[in-house]
Structure 1
Amino acid sequence: MSKTVIEFTDFTFKYRAQQEPTLHKINLKIHEGEKILIVGPSGSGKSTLAHCINGLIPFAYPGETSGTLTVKGRDTKELGIAGLSEVVGTVLQDPDGQFVGLTVGEDIAFSLENAAVPVREMHERVEAAARAVDIQELLAASPQELSGGQKQKTMLAGVLVSNVDVLLFDEPLASLDPYTGTGAIELIDRLQRETGNTVIIIEHRLEEVLHRPVDRIIVMNEGVIAADLPAAELLSSGLLAESGIREPLYLTALKYAGCEITPEMNPQHLNGIKLETGAAKLRAWYEASEVPQEAEAAPVLLELRDLTFGYDKQAPVLQGLSFSVRRGEMLCIAGRNGAGKSTVSKLICGFYRPSAGSILLNGRDLAADTIKERAEHIGFVMQNPNHMISMTLLYDEIALGIKLRGFAEEEIRERVHRVLRICGLYEFREWPVSALSYGQKKRVTIASILVLEPEVLILDEPTAGQDYRHYNEIMEFLRGLGSTGITVIMITHDMHLMLEYAERTIVLAEGRKLADARPEVILTDRNIVGSANLKETSLFTLAVKAGIDQPVEFVRRFIECDRGNRRG
């Protein structure tokens, strides 16, 4: 048995501003060289557990503790946050919040400069860390100019350069496209094998993390450890559903077909799963399932015609982009980091002006409209919630827009409270925004736009950092907006979201429209998936493994069935 590197013993923690503990009697051992995945719904205590390990609790976020927590045999209270930083390196889910240098090289070297490491040794260690994560060509680049994947690699190099024993990742996939996310999981796996570091990953996207093996999965729920099991055992139990965590889609499909999930099936990874009896059941389910009916097309609400734009006129980001969106439609825009997805949304909102082409709303050209005039009809929720929030208290933040529009106080309160309940924020209505988690702040920004009831609602990564329950609550609410005529446009890297909710997907690649089709068609076309850094849905792979002759139709029928089951 390898040495214990982290040990919680009857550990309880209560934040100073709260009446009840967030963590209750935690008993947990993490051994040297293990790779651990921690999952759980929002508010389950998983981030608090991580903050205890890296020293943010109690040194940055004070509160009351009981029991003990040791790292490498020493009590964390004795080590202090500086001592813990020499053992535990943390990669945050918000890359921009962790940069301190003007260049990639400066950022990686930050901890070495603080430790007064000699310059020659510093250069050698920075270059070695950069090579380990494959960004050695970017040492002179500005962190703000990097893609999402490159930013994450920079943060990881900044942790590796200190030769820490434990690598702690807080939602490493939150800002990455599927292809880059897969690369991140492979990179973490390779580094763990090469260095022997202990790796702890906190992530909502269970299926994506299981692209590479983990030793154990710890399920947090309501401040306690609900499960601590190998992946095969956990996926064969009902604990994920009980804890409000989304299981891999291919397992849901097998269950719909009447298959029992057992550890012997190797359910933790689709490539190794055993389908001796499951294949026939899947084929039978497919043959018996209903063929989805096509919805009647609504009139066009928003139209982009031959749109061209570039931050530098010599290097256009978008070239001749055309597509239309129908009233009440739920549309996804997908593509790799830097494909122009967010730029499209900013052009629609009027933050930028196209160099050529036009944007029409209800058949009227918006070229002469100001940002304020467009905001009467078009709402935009940014990817990073910290870029939108301006008020101290949560209630005031959500009420701000309708206050500025002159609504009566009674109506403001009614609309704000209704949206707070929908977004799972009602109990926090009197809280300061600064006390909320990243995922909760994300819901605050969505709520602040939903309360305005726009004709078109554009959301940049709406479900990033959300647990499965809040993801479903928000998405079901957004889906319901279609019946009122509100059009929802989502920019997303979440392939589950695209499959489960989008009626249509626009795929961008190198500033051009690569595809415009139903999501199940997009995510089963290997040419499109490869060109746009998407990820082929595991449902398609499962259908092929089961010998289903029309795997695309299988995906479509599964999605229709799953929507019906989810909506009761």
Structure 2
Amino acid sequence: MTTSAQQDSSTPPPAIHVHQLSFRYRGANEDDTSPKTSTEEASAPSTIEDISFTLPAGELLLIAGPSGSGKSTLIKCLNGLIPNSYKGVLSGEIQLQGHTTKGLKLRDLAHYIGTMLQDPDKQVVGSTVEQEIAFGLENLAVPRPEMRQRVRNALEQLHLERYQGRETFALSGGQRQQVAAAGILVMQPAIMLFDEPFANLDARAIDELEQLIANLQAEGRTVVIVEHRVEEALRLNPDKVLLLHEGKQAFFGPTAQFLEIADPTQVKLPVEATLRTIPATAQPRDWLLQPITLGEKDQQQATEPILRFEDVHYRYGLFSEEILRGISFSVQRGETIALLGPNGSGKTTLVKQALGLLRPTKGRVSLYQDDTRKLSVAQLAARIGYVFQSPNAMLFAPSVTEEASFGPTNLGFTKERVQEAVQASLKALDVDAFEQRSPFSLSFGQQKRVTIASVLAMQSSILLLDEPTAGQDHRSYMNFMEHLRDLPGLDALLFITHDLDLALRFTKRVLLLKDGRLVADGVPLEVLSDAKLLDECNLRPTSLLHYLLGTRQQVS
């Protein structure tokens, strides 16, 4: 094939040129020597099929689409993880900076392209922040004086200087995300790929990442972003949008044309796009805000809180900084709560106190009036279910069904009850089609849904979900919320999130943490209407919040 770059040597080659790219993962019974028969190919459909686009150097491309549409697979093809690490049947052509990627090893590709993965836990390998950022440079044998300078520059650009010597395991998920970005930045590739970069970040970290991307473009770098939160990505003014659906290219072109054809039930768009889809007979506010209410009859009879934190303090080590500083609040039966706050504010540390994974260094946590200090982790797990922020921290089984069956089996469910609970939870999370697949072969969003389904199958009375919308397309996210609305036997829901729209649309109460302290507790719109408080807690107002505040003022 002859490209335009080859036809005219005076024209700089495009940063990325993809032509008729298709890929299917290798089947469980295939190896490198297996003949690829037409029967095998028919039984294992391509994950991506016939993708073609060209991106000029210095432009920003947004790749959007539902979970499982092939976005992460396309990224793996661009950065060389396919076929170097993930085997299968690859066809078509990829050129980076005018050079074909065929036959290039990951080490060679690192000079052209760098990737920030969707899940930072799969990328961070260094024991300290400084070691992590220097890891790639060490592998390329960069001279030590230059290495130190480039690491120092990356730390300054992302305002990570105070974490330079910090152990990476002690960082929050959002902080690890920033460290992963710094590790790519020091490599100085011409093309940078960001897979769901905003998923675990607070507003300040998003601002810093957006500024970094703007600076990269100003330097002539090419940027590719994969993001479900299209509303956030649009702030970067992408030059082009590539929309994938079921592995195929549904659209490639300018952002303005994408917004005309995009379906707000598939990708998260600004509220103005959602308003266009609301029936004329419906009240927009009632359509947009539908908080989940649990067990209304039981609420009338409830008097005692089902979960209580009393002056809870916590520090990870005897001489380490205190993470929780006197947290006190109660959860009543029937409540749906969003726990918001900046990266590193103590949100995940707080909920782990309720699970017995961590115990307060001072204060008391009670679950159904029982002091959690007197309960084992197994006893707590029978009442309270927790979905970790990273699927990688939970998944271990060889198949999705075995993964989802593990919890209820260990809780002593009968075989029939296990089967019924697993089937219902997998269907609710739209992962029942993958029941015999390895969870490690799924996309990040699908893995996240498998972990949620695994916890739902345990039929806990209280659910704690850490960043449940990370990696989720809008349709999967909305379907899951509707399932929670009708879940029997559920006493309370608590979401740990940076997603203000989740708090506004589906919860009745917001808890706001900052520096290990509870700084606000109340009705979502009331708490989130305080612009000064939002800024102090690194929370960015969304188009939905602006719309709701605007309509409230009109009514007033």
1:339–1:200 distance in 2 versus 1, CA, 3 Å: same
Check the 8 A contact 1:524/1:537 in 2, yes or no: no
Q: Which digits, 9 at most, give the CA deviation of each residue in 1:388-438, with x for residues without a partner?
A: 223222111111122223333233222211111111111110111221222
Residue 154 of structure 1 aligns with an amino acid whose one-letter code is V
Q: Which digits, 9 at most, give the CA deviation of each residue in 1:91-110, with x for residues without a partner?
A: 11222322233333332222
In structure 2, the partner of 1:127 is: 152
SS at match of 2:124: coil
- Is 1:550 aligned to residue 556 of structure 2? no
Check the 8 A contact 2:391/2:451 in 1, yes or no: yes
1:229–1:414 distance in 2 versus 1, CA, 3 Å: same
Report the alpha carbon displacement of residue 501 of structure 1 after superposing the two structures with TM.
0.8
Residue 224 of structure 1 aligns with an amino acid whose one-letter code is K
Check the 8 A contact 1:9/1:26 in 2, yes or no: yes
Residue 53 of structure 2 aligns with an amino acid whose one-letter code is L
Comparing 319-328 and 86-95, the one that deviates more: 319-328
Check the 8 A contact 2:155/2:182 in 1, yes or no: yes
In structure 1, the partner of 2:426 is: 420
SS at match of 1:211: helix
Q: Which digits, 9 at most, give the CA deviation of each residue in 1:480-531, with x for residues without a partner?
A: 23x6443111111111211111111111112221111121222221122122
- Is 1:222 aligned to residue 246 of structure 2? yes
Could you tell me how far apart the structure 1 residues matched to 2:329 and 2:310 are? 7
In structure 1, the partner of 2:5 is: none
Check the 8 A contact 2:312/2:328 in 1, yes or no: yes
Check the 8 A contact 2:292/2:507 in 1, yes or no: no
In structure 2, the partner of 1:410 is: 416
In structure 1, the partner of 2:544 is: 539
Aligned equivalent of 1:204, options 203, 228, 243: 228
Could you tell me how far apart the structure 2 residues matched to 1:27 and 1:507 are? 45
Residue 202 of structure 1 aligns with an amino acid whose one-letter code is V
- C-alpha RMSD of the superposition: 2.8
Check the 8 A contact 1:419/1:451 in 2, yes or no: yes
Check the 8 A contact 2:191/2:223 in 1, yes or no: yes
Residue correspondence of structure 1 range 90-101 to structure 2 within 5 A: 90-101=115-126
Could you tell me how far apart the structure 2 residues matched to 1:289 and 1:413 are? 35
**5+ residue gaps, structure 2:** 1-10, 28-42
Check the 8 A contact 2:285/2:548 in 1, yes or no: no
Report the alpha carbon displacement of residue 182 of structure 1 after superposing the two structures with TM.
3.2
- Is 1:113 aligned to residue 138 of structure 2? yes
Aligned equivalent of 2:506, options 487, 501, 514: 501
Aligned equivalent of 1:251, options 273, 276, 282: 273
1:536–1:350 distance in 2 versus 1, CA, 3 Å: same
1:130–1:333 distance in 2 versus 1, CA, 3 Å: closer
Aligned equivalent of 1:69, options 88, 94, 116: 94
Check the 8 A contact 1:178/1:494 in 2, yes or no: no
Residue 352 of structure 2 aligns with an amino acid whose one-letter code is K
Could you tell me how far apart the structure 2 residues matched to 1:129 and 1:51 are? 24
In structure 1, the partner of 2:467 is: 461
Could you tell me how far apart the structure 2 residues matched to 1:130 and 1:292 are? 42
In structure 2, the partner of 1:318 is: 324
Report the alpha carbon displacement of residue 169 of structure 1 after superposing the two structures with TM.
0.4
In structure 2, the partner of 1:57 is: 82
In structure 1, the partner of 2:8 is: none
SS at match of 1:458: strand
Report the alpha carbon displacement of residue 542 of structure 1 after superposing the two structures with TM.
4.2
- The alignment covers a number of residue pairs equal to 522
**5+ residue gaps, structure 1:** 259-283, 555-568
**TM-score for the superposition, normalised by structure 1:** 0.85
Could you tell me how far apart the structure 2 residues matched to 1:148 and 1:94 are? 9
Q: Which digits, 9 at most, give the CA deviation of each residue in 1:444-471, with x for residues without a partner?
A: 2111111111111111111211111211
Residue 114 of structure 2 aligns with an amino acid whose one-letter code is G
1:294–1:212 distance in 2 versus 1, CA, 3 Å: closer
SS at match of 2:322: coil
In structure 2, the partner of 1:513 is: 518
Check the 8 A contact 1:89/1:164 in 2, yes or no: yes
SS at match of 1:516: strand
In structure 2, the partner of 1:332 is: 338
Check the 8 A contact 2:15/2:56 in 1, yes or no: yes
Could you tell me how far apart the structure 1 residues matched to 2:290 and 2:242 are? 38
Could you tell me how far apart the structure 2 residues matched to 1:226 and 1:157 are? 33
Check the 8 A contact 1:394/1:432 in 2, yes or no: yes
- Is 1:490 aligned to residue 490 of structure 2? no
Could you tell me how far apart the structure 2 residues matched to 1:146 and 1:410 are? 41
1:287–1:360 distance in 2 versus 1, CA, 3 Å: closer
Could you tell me how far apart the structure 2 residues matched to 1:420 and 1:386 are? 18
1:289–1:65 distance in 2 versus 1, CA, 3 Å: closer
Could you tell me how far apart the structure 1 residues matched to 2:291 and 2:377 are? 39
Report the alpha carbon displacement of residue 223 of structure 1 after superposing the two structures with TM.
1.2
Could you tell me how far apart the structure 1 residues matched to 2:291 and 2:243 are? 39
Aligned equivalent of 1:379, options 367, 378, 385: 385
Could you tell me how far apart the structure 2 residues matched to 1:294 and 1:222 are? 31
Could you tell me how far apart the structure 2 residues matched to 1:97 and 1:149 are? 14
Report the alpha carbon displacement of residue 313 of structure 1 after superposing the two structures with TM.
5.6
**TM-score for the superposition, normalised by structure 2:** 0.86
Could you tell me how far apart the structure 2 residues matched to 1:46 and 1:229 are? 16
SS at match of 1:240: coil
SS at match of 2:235: coil
Residue 247 of structure 1 aligns with an amino acid whose one-letter code is L
1:113–1:361 distance in 2 versus 1, CA, 3 Å: closer
In structure 2, the partner of 1:87 is: 112
Comparing 330-339 and 320-329, the one that deviates more: 320-329
SS at match of 2:263: helix
SS at match of 1:317: strand
Could you tell me how far apart the structure 1 residues matched to 2:73 and 2:395 are? 23
1:241–1:286 distance in 2 versus 1, CA, 3 Å: closer
Residue correspondence of structure 1 range 132-531 to structure 2 within 5 A: 132-193=157-218, 195-235=219-259, 237-241=260-264, 244-253=266-275, 256=278, 298=300, 299=302, 300-312=305-317, 315-481=321-487, 484-531=489-536
Could you tell me how far apart the structure 1 residues matched to 2:180 and 2:287 are? 47
1:180–1:254 distance in 2 versus 1, CA, 3 Å: farther
Report the alpha carbon displacement of residue 234 of structure 1 after superposing the two structures with TM.
1.7
Could you tell me how far apart the structure 1 residues matched to 2:253 and 2:124 are? 35
